[in-house]
Structure 1
Amino acid sequence: MKNKFNIDLRIFEDYYSADYFKKTREILNKFKPNQLVTMQWFQRKQNTVICGIEIIKEILRLSNIKNLVVEAVEEGEIVNALEPVLKITGKYSDFAHFEGLFDGILSRASTVATNARNISIAANGKKVLNMNDRMDYYTNQQIDGYASSIGGIKNLVTYASFEYLEEETVLNGTMPHALIASFNGDLIAATKAYKEVFPNNDLVVLVDYNNDCINDSIMVCNHFKNEIKALRLDTSPNLVDKSLANIEEVDNELHGVNPKLVKMLREKLDLNGHQNVKIIVSSGFDENKISYFEKNKVPVDIYGVGDAITKNKIGFTGDIVLIDGKKQSKFGRENAFSNKIKSIKYR
């Protein structure tokens, strides 16, 4: 069978299952072999974008379990605290080993999807680059790229991030600081080399290497005329760009990539005839910082985000809520109704 999400088949050998789930399965196989249970999954935050349902369906499809009744919300559905998002009815011994696994899938994917949606909303429709590849373990790129896309951020920077997606792979990215360093900090030389090796790529230049974003931006734009597509500012939060050195600072307002620096850059670019050059900002941008920039009408064209994609963890819990059709659950975890849940086929 085709394995759409490249599921590690060792999950069917209990490789990823907590020991107590395996032991519970053995106990129930001995004492309650025909017992039917309904397990319900939920989380505790408002406006959560649910993601991971399709991955769970794929796991169930690849399994040899035939008699489960599965109900779930649609991928990308927005739910609130305590709303059930997934219910499975069947012999608990058939799917006990998936309980914690499904918790984790829903948690990771829904966290990324929710953050992506919130960041997209904050950006007011402007393009957002998902640059989280450098902030997390590499094997998360596939599920994170998928979840990011479900949440609304489809601009990804690695091939792995597109693995679970049906969209055409179009990598987004700029030059790294390492390229400029390799040319002894010579931004012109590094940009020339980039252009020569990748003549058909958009020419996007990183301009904070020398902590002199304004002067380096004007220099590189003047040199390459109309060939520059965009400039990226990535100033570290512990630095103040040289162009702002003579401005009195209040509450670290001049540190890192800040509104004054971006507005100054836009003004200087326009005065020098580079009105078509876009401005990309990165380094420490999250939903709140993007909202602040948008509220203050900072002339940003594209936002780059990193670890903001995986912050604000959303945890899921699976609980038995019915046994043989009768109410039975941990206190406070009763069977809940939701008109968003629909019966689904997994085989």
Structure 2
Amino acid sequence: MSLFWRIFGLNALVLITATALLLGPITVSTPVLVTEAAVLTAGLAAMLIANAALLRVGLAPLQRLTRAMTTTDLLRPTARLTPGGHGEIAELITTFNTMLDRLEAERATSAARALSAQEAERRRIAQELHDEIGQTLTAVLLELKRVADHAPPPVGEEIRQVQETTRASLEEIRRIARRLRPGVLEELGLTSSLKALAGEFSTPGLTVRAHIDAHLPPLDHNTELVLYRVAQESLTNTARHAGATRVDLDLHRTSAGVRLRVRDDGHGTGGAAEGAGIRGMRERALLIGADLTLAPGPDGGTEVRLTIPTHSGRP
């Protein structure tokens, strides 16, 4: 039975019952007596209450569906609604669940393509920085050294200052290239790359400590890359915005897989909206079926936690 006919039938049942009562034990005099007016008023109130209760019960699944529609976020998959009600309502909820499945699958596919293209572009830019600009600056350093060796002392000192500036620029370019393309991840593995990342972000004002489990389960290349990028983005956000003095980077084995945790002692997010960096981490997590949470740390600051299920994650 359609929603229209169900609502119509409920209203008709209430009205037919009221009419039967008026034609049976309840009658109305002319003029209307006070007791009869009271009975009619009570009957009308009972009909309205019964109608409202029946409609609320019948339309409750639609209210649940409305709440789900307003709170659904494709970057935070949740359990699907259980089809409730009858007829069109149950069919509508089932269709909504199917639509969510399709949207999440399509988003995952498009995100995978976009992130794959992004990684390829990062590798290309890093290679050009290393091969083109890096080699050019190296040649400039050698030429400056040759000129400084033959220049008068005052001019030679100025040239050496230019040398130091050029050398600092070359180191910065190499640092950017390493961030764009984590060659250490491909050459030395995940553990060494995360320790190198912690050392790179450690400064006199910020201490980054890495604690890596020595017995991690086997992880494929995409999973290792997601772990590295999430750790890198978390440390970047901490260094830029958190005002922290200490960061703990932990990667350990769990009963179901592995878990990455980056915790700082900064001032937290302050309820600010998530930026592109955090949404990018969520998209990467979805690609490998991982769960990413961002919450205040137990002692203040912010804690980023990435939980990755693996088939080999047995203790």
TM-score scaled to structure 1, two decimals?
A: 0.26
> Which structure's CA Rg is the greater one?
2
Q: Which has the higher contact order (CA 8 A, sep 6+)?
A: 1
More strand by share: 1
